Structure 1
Amino acid sequence: MNARKLIDRAARALRECRCLPAAAAVVAAVSLVALAGKGTQALAADPAATAAATRVAFDTSEGRIVVELRADKAPKTAANFLQYVNEGFYDGTIFHRVIDGFMIQGGGFTPGLSQKPTRPPIASESTNGLKNVRGAIAMARTSDPNSATSQFFINVVDNNKLDYPSFDGTGYTVFGNVVQGMDVVDKIRVVPVGQRGPYGDVPVTAVVIKTAHIVK
């Protein structure tokens, strides 16, 4: 699928997602939609723990993916992600949006497509110099660059159009990269997908994150 078709497809996903606030006003055609839950708890991560705990494993229904975090480049984003990991937030969630030739997105929904409540959003760190290359993990967000909460995506190709300053002047914050299990990412990116209610590109058979945990 070429870039133009991917952009059109992502734009359609925005229009179809009726629960996105003011979806019609969103101008970023490749926006990686992270539907904002209501935050209930302020971020309180230990910076020392964040720096030391640099790798996280996703044990999924398709196999293990290990990502190495770049707390040196995206400290707030890495701390936010690790707090969700340590709370067990990602356990039992799914990769709810899969587009071959683009990315796989997860970290916010249960297999029944119920959205989990999140903490308040964090500030963008997209100017950190890290790029949305194949295997990079980045935060999903709405058209507001400072709206990222729990949802993330893994690039399955080099997506330079998502880098700062990007098409919308901000870009998407990269905070790590896959160091093990890219073959699992490639298995996920080609699973059959379809429409479920207002959501498009949803795997027909749920791709579940059984657990997400720190690995030494």
Structure 2
Amino acid sequence: MKRIFLGLVLGMVFLTAGEAIAADSKPVTVEMQTNLGTITLELNATAAPQSVENFVQYAEEGFYNGTIFHRVIKNFMIQGGGFSPDMQRKSTRDPIRNEAKNGLKNSRGSIAMARTSAAHSATAQFFINLKDNSFLDYPGQDGWGYCVFGKVTSGMDVVDKIAQQPTTRKNGMRDVPANTVIIEKVSVSR
């Protein structure tokens, strides 16, 4: 009996952070304050534990505070979480595994991990869908798709306001808001 109990205790100690969040059935709520208003998100740790834990860790470390929405494409999505207002890319941790095969859809108001053309390249950047973008769902055009890990629960009017910003080119990047949209603070509630 003592061995079984010790095994259970040791098993609990060695849960990954993502598994620990997923084991906690309460939703993870995120408040993202921008210079255009506040967006509230509910993250789905059951469907995307690694993506949620990754996002939460960046948020709790203050990584997102002072970053910008650097890519805005009307009738598609707004992307942020990786650049400073002077368009300097922030250093990130190693990429995470793509969890797009979780049944969540890239529908209007969903938040998903941004990545390069490599399936498992997501780090800190994320995007919020402005419309249903089913072509981004698993398996997508590349056999993977883009991992949705939550949704906007309030502040979609702010997301739409960001989407209406005029864009320009900055530091060789297209679709950058001409008037900087700053993510002032990201707070997490569990």
After TM superposition, is the score higher than 0.5?
A: yes
Match of residue 80 from structure 1: 54
How far residue 168 of structure 1 moved from its aligned partner, in angstroms, is 1.1
How far residue 53 of structure 1 moved from its aligned partner, in angstroms, is 5.8
How far residue 134 of structure 1 moved from its aligned partner, in angstroms, is 0.1
Root-mean-square deviation (CA, aligned residues, Å) is 1.4
More strand by share: 2
Q: Distance in 2 between matches of 1:201 and 1:45?
A: 35
How far residue 192 of structure 1 moved from its aligned partner, in angstroms, is 0.7
Q: Does 1:198 align with 2:172?
A: yes
Given that 2:27 and 2:45 are in contact with CA atoms closer than 8 Å, whether structure 1 keeps it comes out as no
Q: Distance in 2 between matches of 1:180 and 1:193?
A: 25
Given that 1:45 and 1:80 are in contact with CA atoms closer than 8 Å, whether structure 2 keeps it comes out as no
How far residue 49 of structure 1 moved from its aligned partner, in angstroms, is 4.7
Q: Distance in 2 between matches of 1:170 and 1:61?
A: 34
How far residue 214 of structure 1 moved from its aligned partner, in angstroms, is 1.1
Q: Distance in 2 between matches of 1:154 and 1:46?
A: 22
Runs of 4+ aligned residues of structure 1 deviating over 3 Å after TM superposition are 44-53
Given that 1:104 and 1:189 are in contact with CA atoms closer than 8 Å, whether structure 2 keeps it comes out as yes
Larger radius of gyration: 2
Q: Does 1:62 align with 2:40?
A: no
How far residue 212 of structure 1 moved from its aligned partner, in angstroms, is 0.3
Q: Distance in 1 between matches of 2:163 and 2:183?
A: 15
Question: Residue 94 of structure 1: SS of its match in structure 2?
Answer: strand
Q: Distance in 2 between matches of 1:78 and 1:135?
A: 16
Give 5+ residue unaligned stretches, structure 1: 1-43
Question: Residue 138 of structure 1: SS of its match in structure 2?
Answer: strand
Q: Distance in 2 between matches of 1:46 and 1:174?
A: 15
Given that 1:53 and 1:214 are in contact with CA atoms closer than 8 Å, whether structure 2 keeps it comes out as no
Q: Distance in 1 between matches of 2:103 and 2:162?
A: 27
Q: Does 1:120 align with 2:94?
A: yes
How far residue 47 of structure 1 moved from its aligned partner, in angstroms, is 4.1
Match of residue 37 from structure 1: none
Q: Distance in 1 between matches of 2:141 and 2:21?
A: 35
Given that 2:27 and 2:42 are in contact with CA atoms closer than 8 Å, whether structure 1 keeps it comes out as no
The one of 159, 162, 174 aligned to 1:185: 159
The one of 75, 88, 96 aligned to 2:70: 96
